[in-house]
Amino acid sequence: MTASKPNILIIMVDQLNGTFFPDGPADFLHAPHMKALAARAARFRNNYTSSPLCAPARASFMAGQLPSRTQVYDNAAEYISSIPTFAHHLRRAGYYTALSGKMHFVGPDQLHGFEERLTTDIYPADFGWTPDYRKPGERIDWWYHNMGSVTGAGVAEITNQMEYDDEVAFLANQKLYQLSRENDDQYRRPWCLTVSFTHPHDPYVARRKFWDLYEDCAHLMPQVGMLEEQDPHSARILHSCDYARFAITGEHVRRSRQAYFANISYLDEKVGEFVDTLARTRMLDETLIFFCSDHGDMLGERGLWFKMNFFEGSARVPLMIAGPGVTPGLHLAPTSNLDVTPTLCDLAGISMDEVMPWTDGESLVPVIGGEERTTPVLMEYAAEASYAPLVCIRE
């Protein structure tokens, strides 16, 4: 921490359903480190993605702009370099910025304001996943993403996603130690390290030690199962996931949800490692910690899986902020991941006059301080399974 500028650690996970975080992690989740973080954090129960799909959600998260402004509508839309992100704003204010992990940037710019990336991305940066908008009920990547994630749910000690996230965590921890060694340097800059995991995104496969935590879990079946009649968009989602080709059983559903919960516990272990490293290096008290997700996962509610819709399981995501200047407490007003960029900048002491022209969000600092928020939350979707752009307003 330099003068009034705190360090910032952003822990971003992938496809984490916010309904399991009503006030921090739900009681049934084995997540002691996330629960400890929640106890000292501002917690936003009704926080929403800007778009329920990876690349659009992450581009919006970085810039604080809706997809209609970033023009990133699907998982193969180029994220152009002229859009300022929170990493740009923070660098301009003197911060060192780095990314460890996934951010699903499509196009030649793989930094978007970060000075350094500690890992490669896990997803392609090219245009191979461009949807065919003439066939709205189909996906370009059926070979990769279909209901096989559900029928194949179970236990594995290593997968490409586990290898990736293990590396993301290892290199992020290594970077924290490196940054701590620069603490006594008179020229040291405040830092912002973004650590972005790919779990608990499907495939629904988990390590045995986490899987076993949920053997007797009472939440392995959805509250609302498959509906006899789906709305048109939900029906297109089912078709785009090749649902008819798979015979989904109750056991498949239970195993998928068990693995998903297990992977939350896997991530909890990583969160604990970071907090422990910050404490050991005496940086914890001067570091803001943001915990968030890009979008959620339906996990079988209404018969739907993954995301691509505005139902709560898909659109609602956790947001917790802990650290200097943040009063712990639960906030119920609807908020958005679009608010993260202006909030980061506000807490870093950057003039909001310089940031607000570039964002569709609002700083949450006034909300944390007890002020009432009445601004509605906006969401947009225009990717797979959509015939036309979809919008949602949450008041």
Active site residue 392: no
- The residue from 33, 88, 104, 112 that is catalytic is 104
Q: What is the CA radius of gyration of the chain?
A: 20
Per DSSP bridges, beta strands 47-48 and 377-381 are unpaired
What SS3 state is found at 240? helix
Say which residue the tokens 């236990």 belong to: 155
Peptide bond between residue 366 and the one before it cis (omega within 30 degrees of 0): no
Select from 348, 296, 350, 287 the least CA-distant residue to 318: 296
Q: What ranges in 281-310 are assigned the alpha helix state H? A: none
Instruction: Give the CA angle between residues 187, 189, 192 to the nearest 5°.
Output: 165
- The residue from 33, 54, 201, 252 that is catalytic is 54
Distance set, CA 299 to CA 20, 23, 44, 260 (Å): 11, 20, 22, 9
Active site residue 331: no
Select from 322, 269, 262 the least CA-distant residue to 291: 322
What is the C-alpha separation between 126 and 110, in angstroms, rounded?
Answer: 11
What is the C-alpha separation between 7 and 11, in angstroms, rounded?
Answer: 13
Other Cβ atoms closer than 10 A to 245: 10
Report the interhelical angle of 250-280 vs 160-181 (nearest 10°). Answer: 10
Per DSSP bridges, beta strands 41-44 and 319-322 are antiparallel
Tell me the catalytic residues: 54, 104
